[in-house]
Chains A and B, each alone.
Chain A
Amino acid sequence: MSPGSKIVSLGHYQPSRVLTNDDLAQLVDTTDEWIRSRVGIAERRIAGDETVADMASAAAEKALASSGLTAADIDLVVVATCSSIDRCPNVATRVAARLGIRAPGAYDLNTACSGFSYGLATVDHAIRAGAARNAIVVGSEKLSDLTDWTDRSTCVLFGDAAGAAVVTGADEPGIGPVVWGSDPEKGQVLRIEGWRPYIYQDGQTVFRWATTVLAPLALEACAKAGVEPRELAAFVPHQANLRIIEPLARKLGVTNAVIARDIVESGNTSAASVPLALSKLVERREVPSGAPALLFGFGGGLTYAGQVVRCP
């Protein structure tokens, strides 16, 4: 048992194939200007043969390599995803097998775009409870498998990616208390359902929910961690739309924080978006080690989860 836990390292993976807005304009009736002005996306990465497990493994491998730990030290693997076509064995055990992690607790969780913050909370809780010592938590999505490439309102939004964190016990908690919840009555506005599922979204309703409901919840996550918004070094919300991210940052008053805007180059990658963006910020040394960052995921369910973490 440990009084807290912390992120010791991060890693991410994106497929090499870039799909630009101009590429999409060849497929559906849209334009670069329309996409940039509505959501802020310039390009996204689209997987080829890579599966959700392949991308998750690649991200987890990088995180493990820079953690100072080895596969033998890891006793819990959690993968957040809503897009894995392969159901069993689950993605977490596939990742464990790939990395040579011998006998970890291993489970997938699905809260769509808020998945990484849910996963981070559950591994933090497991470490505090003594059920694990060192964990890997991953968000990995291959949304291109679930995209209707004839629907111009959705096919321009999504990308494929994975991001991962290695989490270990700490005397000084580096993962703040989670604020999580859902709005089940609104569930129908964002769906991936049926026998051959495609992503369906009522964009206006999701936008309204995100721009009106989330700010107080994100402030609650700061309050629970004892951190003032102006003290944050980074704000890493789910990368759904710049027109959600920027007003949210203004409402929170995160005046000294680097605001993650990875959506511009990666699109919306659901559960992968937060660890992907955070991993890039840390890799580019845009946030100092030990500095507080607010993570906040939100999306399908509708679900949300967020917490303040100390950057590795």
Chain B
Amino acid sequence: MTRDEITAGLAEILEEVAGVNPDDVVEGKSFTDDLDVDSLSMVEVVVAAEEKFGVKIPDDEVQNLRTVGDAVSYIEKAG
């Protein structure tokens, strides 16, 4: 999976879980500061991403995923 494909998948999840406009989901954006995803929605995003991409994202890792790019990199490596 390419980084763009992962980003597009995350955009779908973010739209469904937190009502984020998919056009706003680009690598440099911060989940909390730019996309207004709160800490609990972030958990829902992570759980949905695990299922969608077939990866494990442990509890300890969630706080390290600050930007869309962080999440894309993690999923790329874990996939």
**A residues adjacent to B (C-beta < 8 A):** 37-38, 202-205, 207-208, 211-212, 241, 243
Contacts and interface: CB of A to CB of B under 8 A. Distances in A.
Contacts of B39: 38, 203-204
Chief secondary structure at chain B's binding surface: helix
A211 B59 contact: no
A204 B44 contact: no
A37 B40 CA distance: 10
A205 B39 CA distance: 10
A203 B40 contact: yes
Contacts of A202: 59
Contacts of A38: 38-40
Given A211-B44, A211-B47, A212-B47, A204 B38 contact: no
B71 to A, nearest CB: 15
B35 to A, nearest CB: 15
A149 to B, nearest CB: 21
B43 interface: yes
A189 to B, nearest CB: 8
A207 B43 CA distance: 8
B66 to A, nearest CB: 14
Contacts, number: 27
A241 B44 CA distance: 14
B47 A204 contact: no
Chief secondary structure at chain A's binding surface: helix
A243 B40 contact: yes
- A-B pairs, top 9 by smallest CB distance, nearest first, are A205-B59, A208-B43, A204-B43, A207-B43, A207-B40, A204-B39, A243-B40, A212-B47, A204-B62
A248 B63 CA distance: 24
8 contacts: A38-B40, A202-B59, A204-B43, A204-B59, A205-B59, A207-B40, A208-B46, A241-B40
B64 to A, nearest CB: 12
Nearest to A202: B59
B23 to A, nearest CB: 24
A208 B46 CA distance: 9
B49 interface: no
B42 interface: yes
Interface in B10-54: 38-40, 42-44, 46-47
Contacts of B46: 208
Contacts of B63: 204
A206 to B, nearest CB: 10
Contact of B59 (A37, A208, A241, A243): A208
Q: Which of A38, A204, A241, A243 has the most CB of B within 10 A?
A: A204
A55 B1 CA distance: 58
Contacts of B40: 38, 203-204, 207, 241, 243
Nearest to B42: A204
Contacts of A212: 47
A244 to B, nearest CB: 9
Contact of B38 (A37, A205, A208, A241): A37
A41 to B, nearest CB: 14
Contacts of B42: 204
Contacts of A208: 43, 46-47, 59
A129 B58 CA distance: 44
Nearest to B38: A38
A195 to B, nearest CB: 28
A243 B62 CA distance: 19
B56 to A, nearest CB: 13
A260 B62 CA distance: 30
A111 to B, nearest CB: 22
A203 B59 CA distance: 11
